[in-house]
Amino acid sequence: MAEEIMQCPTCGGAVMARDLYCNACGHTPGIDRGGWKRHR
């Protein structure tokens, strides 16, 4: 089962849908609200 790839709204980096924070910039969708954007 492939993981869904999302996009970090802060730095635009690719993140997994279940990731708790962005590896590139440290954005956390839970704390910063808004969550991940769908990667197009």
Alpha-carbon gap, residue 1 to 21, rounded angstroms: 21
pTM (predicted TM-score): 0.61
**pLDDT band at residue 17 using 50, 70 and 90 as cut-offs:** confident
CA 29 to CA 13: how far, in whole Å?
Answer: 13
Task: Tell me the two tokens of residue 20.
Answer: 């708790």
Mean pLDDT taken over the chain: 79
Region of 16 on the Ramachandran plot (φ > 0 left; ψ -120 to 50 alpha; else beta): beta
Residue 25 has pLDDT above 80, yes or no: yes
